[in-house]
Each structure stands twice: as structure tokens, then as C-alpha cells.
């Protein structure tokens, strides 16, 4: 039995999108494809586009259990980060870090090109990123981050409290480090825009969950509710759900993180706020609070992590209200003069991490390929890994393909339950306690 996505229906990014202009196409009947792709997020969309370039006469079917942008790719905080993940930044191999940086920047250039080519209205912005500290603990982490940036040879600068307040409209933070080459966007708008502008030989089928997967006569049979797909080549852009198809079992950890945001601030409220629009701040301590002011004047708060072995089914209405309350407290700590501004949405998104912080990329079975486990940095990683997965499938070669094979590997095995769940919950609780001064 394949467990399907079980996302809440209160994702702010998705809810504010305009009505779709094209009807949803669903899987019906028996469809024969040269290439089948499951998962229409960043990885699946990139793989479909690249396959179309490499094989313009092939029939490519991209299928998703939900509508495009309803899943994890449309639920993140809207950062496209060029730097390696914080844990990767500490890796002892300088070549690995440089390859990750190059891959991420290739992904950003690719997304920039699509935004420009198709005029995707997604608040795409070369705004850079602040990494902010609230107090002494956060500043210790920033000093370590500075050391890592020096080792990497990357541009950065310190932003002191007074200057930072002019940008973010609050003196809650003591200092920050600014890095200039990250981008901001509206993730659901970007993902939907890419889905609406796929090449002609890519067929997008939505609201079409695949219930079973089996090999028959050298072909893969993907069985849905009202139809099936038969293909010799299958690409999985399914992140945490890869294990539902029998692959990477006991190697991926499903984690949800949550966000809330306000309605757009009025002109008067913007005067009270007295900061800039369109910036993003990540926490100095990884378990702290992410903060954004969107281009359309919404303040977004993201924190709170949960281990969700049953995905969205693990989060009750009561739990969501508690998360809402925690976000509200974080908001009021930063913007007490905006206490009358309500939150309009609170939502979660599930993603995959591994215990050894290793991303999987490659062939899982004969004719089955996957990019799985983004470790929480999915926009850039999903884009480049999906693109290069298509290269791998058709036998193309490039320096980028060699680089991604260099930096990826096998996620480590997890301990059995109940020890896994107990351990993950303890680690999350410990991180929350350690970062309490930064929340």
C-alpha cells in the first residue's frame, strides 16, 4: 500500500495564486511512454524539461498525485540558496564544497532563464540572504559561519544591529551576515509557472496518484486509479515518497517544518514596520526562526520541526493550532507594534533528510532512476539533480554530471522503530531547547 501525500489545505503560497487557466489533465486508460516521471516538483519538472531537450521525439509523461505546486516544492520559504547546506559547509573535502556551489549556481541560472523566458510572475528576486543572530548563542554560530565562508572563499559581510533594523524593521536581532548570491521567490507560483510551460512532448497528468509499481516484460507498469502508464524508463522525483515505491527504505527521515504569514500590510502598517520589502533571513542556529518580508508585504515566520512517519496525518488540528500560537509568539517578539496584524495561513511541508546528510542520485533498479533526499534545500538541488538525472538516463556526459556523482552517495540506514522515532523526537526537542534564545 503506497501512502500518498497528505498535505494540509492551508498553504498560503498556493492559496493566493490566481485561478488556473488550463484544466487539470488526469491519468486515464493505458498510456505508453518512452519515459515516465513520478513527482512534478522541482526535480520532476527539471527532469522532464531536460529529457525533452535530449529526446525531442520521445513521449514523456510526468505524473503527480496532487496538482502542481500543492506539494513540498510549493511549500518552502521561498529561498533559492547558492551556498552548500550548513552541514555540507563543514565537510573536510574542499572539492566537494566547490562542486556543490557550482551545481547550485547552475540551478539558479536555469531557474532565472525559465522565469525570464516564460515571464513567470513569481516574485523572483536577486535579494541575497541574511543569516541573523538574536543573542550570544547565535553570534557564536555566525562566527563559525564566517570561518566557513573564508575557507570557501565566498563573499560575505557583517551587518550590525542598526543597519539590520533598517532592512527588517525590528531590533530583535543583534547582528547578521549577508551573502549576496541567493535568490527569493514565491515557490508555488514558480512551480506552477514551470508546469504550465512544459515542452510539447511532455504530458503533465495531475491528481493522478500511482498506487502500485511493478515490472512486466521488461517494462515498468505504473498503476493509477483510472489508468496506467507503461514505460521502459522510470524517473522518481518523489523525495521522501521514494520509499513508498520500495526504494531507499529505512534510509530517509520524513520531517515537516511549518510556516505562518500575515495578510499584506497596509500603507499605514508599513510605516509602523519601517523596514524594507523583499528580504529573507535564516537563523544562525539551524533550529531557530526563518523570517521573510515578501514582495507583496507579507511577513512570514517559519520554525517548528516534527518527525512525521505518516506525513500530514501526524499533524492534528490541535497540533497545527499550537504551531500557529508558537509562530504568533515569535512574530510578536519581533514586531510588537504590529500586534493587530493577523496571520491568514499556517501550513506545513514534508521533506526528506538522512542521518549522514547525504543526497541520493542515481539508478535504483533496472530502468529506475531517482534523485531523493534534499536535506531541506530543495529548490536549487531539486532543479539541478532532476536535470542531471535526465542526462544519466540517456547516457549523456558532462562535468556537472560527474560533479553530482562525486557529491552524492547512499543515505545511511536508520535504526529500527521504536528507537528511530524516539531518537528523532529527542534530537528535535534538544535542538529546540538549545535554540530557544534564537526563536
**Whole-number Å distance between alpha carbons of 239 and 259:** 20
**Percent residues over pLDDT 90 in the chain:** 87
Strand-strand pairing, 279-283 and 79-80: unpaired
**Whole-number Å distance between alpha carbons of 264 and 186:** 14
Angle between helices 399-407 and 94-118 (to 10 degrees): 120
Q: If pLDDT is split at 50, 70 and 90, which confidence band does 184 have?
A: very high
- How far does CA 280 lie from the centroid of its chain? 15
CB-based contact 3:311 (threshold 8 Å): yes
The residue with cell 516521471 is: 37
| Measured CA distances, 396 to 54, 58, 176, 383, 399 (Å) | 9, 16, 42, 17, 11
**What is the per-residue pLDDT across 300-332, written as a single tens digit (0 to 9) for each?**
999 988 999 999 989 999 999 999 999 999 999
Could you give phi then psi for residue 167, rounded to 5 degrees? -85, -50
DSSP class of 73: G
**Whole-number Å distance between alpha carbons of 322 and 310:** 19
**Whole-number Å distance between alpha carbons of 132 and 68:** 33
**Whole-number Å distance between alpha carbons of 178 and 132:** 9
CB-based contact 188:121 (threshold 8 Å): no
Is the model's pLDDT at 44 over the cut of 70? yes
Torsion of CA 188, 189, 192, 196, to 10 degrees: 180
DSSP class of 174: S
Paired with 294 in beta bridges are none
CATH code at 12-75+189-251+359-415:
3.50.50.60
Q: Give SS3 for 221.
A: strand
Q: What is the largest CA-CA distance in the chain?
A: 68
Looking at per-residue confidence, does 70 or 427 come out higher?
A: 70
**Whole-number Å distance between alpha carbons of 171 and 274:** 11
| Measured CA distances, 415 to 43, 259, 354 (Å) | 28, 29, 12
CB-based contact 361:389 (threshold 8 Å): yes
Is the model's pLDDT at 206 over the cut of 90? yes
**Whole-number Å distance between alpha carbons of 399 and 407:** 12
What is the model's pLDDT at position 31? 98
What is the model's pLDDT at position 428? 76
CB-based contact 22:219 (threshold 8 Å): no
Positions of CATH 3.50.50.60 in the chain: 12-75+189-251+359-415
What is the model's pLDDT at position 405? 97
Is the model's pLDDT at 431 over the cut of 80? no
Q: Which three cell numbers stand for residue 267?
A: 500603507
Q: If pLDDT is split at 50, 70 and 90, which confidence band does 420 have?
A: confident
Mean pLDDT of 14-28: 95
Q: If pLDDT is split at 50, 70 and 90, which confidence band does 376 have?
A: low
**What is the per-residue pLDDT across 352-368, written as a single tens digit (0 to 9) for each?**
989 898 999 999 999 99
**Whole-number Å distance between alpha carbons of 388 and 47:** 7
**What is the per-residue pLDDT across 133-152, written as a single tens digit (0 to 9) for each?**
999 999 999 999 999 999 99
- Closest C-alpha to 263, from 185, 344, 195: 344
Mean pLDDT of 262-287: 96
Q: Which three cell numbers stand for residue 438?
A: 534564537
**Whole-number Å distance between alpha carbons of 252 and 410:** 10
- Would you call 65 exposed, middle or buried from its count of C-beta atoms within 10 A (0-12, 13-18, 19+)? buried
Q: If pLDDT is split at 50, 70 and 90, which confidence band does 437 have?
A: confident
Rounded CA Rg of the chain: 21
**Percent residues over pLDDT 70 in the chain:** 100
- How far does CA 408 lie from the centroid of its chain? 18
What's the chain's average pLDDT?
A: 95
**Domain with residues 126-185+253-355+422-438, CATH architecture:** 2-Layer Sandwich (3.30)
**Whole-number Å distance between alpha carbons of 216 and 353:** 32
Looking at per-residue confidence, does 160 or 378 come out higher?
A: 160
**Whole-number Å distance between alpha carbons of 294 and 72:** 19
Positions of CATH 3.30.9.10 in the chain: 126-185+253-355+422-438
Amino acid at each position: 500500500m503506497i501512502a500518498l501525500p497528505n498535505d494540509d489545505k492551508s498553504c498560503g503560497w498556493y492559496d493566493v495564486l490566481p485561478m488556473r487557466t488550463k484544466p487539470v489533465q488526469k491519468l486515464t486508460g493505458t498510456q505508453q511512454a518512452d519515459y515516465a516521471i513520478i513527482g512534478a516538483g522541482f526535480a520532476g519538472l527539471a527532469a522532464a524539461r531536460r529529457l525533452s531537450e535530449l529526446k525531442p521525439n520521445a513521449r514523456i509523461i510526468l505524473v503527480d498525485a496532487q496538482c502542481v505546486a500543492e506539494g513540498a516544492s510549493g511549500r518552502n520559504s521561498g529561498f533559492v540558496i547558492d551556498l552548500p547546506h550548513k552541514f555540507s559547509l563543514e565537510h573536510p573535502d574542499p572539492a566537494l564544497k566547490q562542486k556543490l556551489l557550482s551545481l547550485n549556481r547552475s540551478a539558479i541560472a536555469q531557474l532565472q532563464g525559465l522565469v525570464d523566458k516564460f515571464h513567470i510572475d513569481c516574485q523572483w528576486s536577486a535579494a541575497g540572504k541574511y543569516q541573523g543572530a538574536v543573542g550570544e548563542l547565535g553570534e557564536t554560530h555566525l562566527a563559525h559561519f564566517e570561518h566557513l565562508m573564508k575557507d570557501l572563499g565566498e563573499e560575505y559581510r557583517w551587518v550590525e544591529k542598526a543597519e539590520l533594523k533598517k532592512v527588517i524593521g525590528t531590533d530583535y536581532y543583534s547582528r547578521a551576515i549577508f551573502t549576496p548570491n541567493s535568490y527569493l521567490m514565491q515557490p508555488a507560483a514558480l512551480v506552477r509557472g514551470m508546469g504550465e510551460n512544459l515542452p510539447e512532448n511532455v504530458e503533465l497528468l495531475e491528481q493522478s496518484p500511482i498506487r502500485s509499481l511493478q515490472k512486466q516484460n521488461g517494462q515498468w507498469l505504473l498503476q493509477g486509479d483510472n489508468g496506467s502508464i507503461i514505460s521502459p524508463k522510470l524517473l522518481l522525483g518523489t523525495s521522501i515518497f521514494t520509499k513508498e515505491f520500495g526504494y531507499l527504505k529505512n534510509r530517509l527521515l520524513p520531517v515537516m517544518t511549518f510556516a505562518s504569514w500575515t495578510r499584506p500590510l497596509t500603507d499605514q502598517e508599513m510605516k509602523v514596520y519601517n523596514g524594507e520589502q523583499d528580504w529573507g533571513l535564516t537563523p544562525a542556529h539551524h533550529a531557530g526562526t526563518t523570517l521573510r518580508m515578501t514582495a507583496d508585504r507579507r511577513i512570514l515566520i517559519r520554525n517548528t520541526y516534527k518527525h512525521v512517519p505518516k506525513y500530514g496525518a501526524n499533524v492534528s488540528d490541535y497540533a497545527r493550532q499550537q504551531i500557529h500560537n508558537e509562530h504568533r509568539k515569535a512574530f510578536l517578539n519581533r514586531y510588537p507594534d504590529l500586534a493587530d496584524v493577523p496571520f491568514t495561513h499556517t501550513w506545513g511541508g514534508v521533506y526528506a533528510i538522512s542521518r549522514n546528510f547525504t543526497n541520493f542520485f542515481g539508478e535504483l533498479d533496472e530502468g529506475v532512476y531517482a534523485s531523493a533526499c534534499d536535506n531541506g534545500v530543495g529548490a536549487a538541488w531539486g532543479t539541478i539533480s532532476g536535470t542531471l538525472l535526465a542526462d544519466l538516463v540517456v547516457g549523456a556526459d558532462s562535468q556537472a554530471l560527474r560533479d553530482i556523482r562525486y557529491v552524492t552517495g547512499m543515505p545511511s540506514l536508520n535504526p529500527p522503530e521504536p528507537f528511530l522515532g524516539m531518537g528523532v523526537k529527542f534530537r528535535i526537542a534538544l535542538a529546540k531547547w538549545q535554540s530557544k534564545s534564537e526563536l
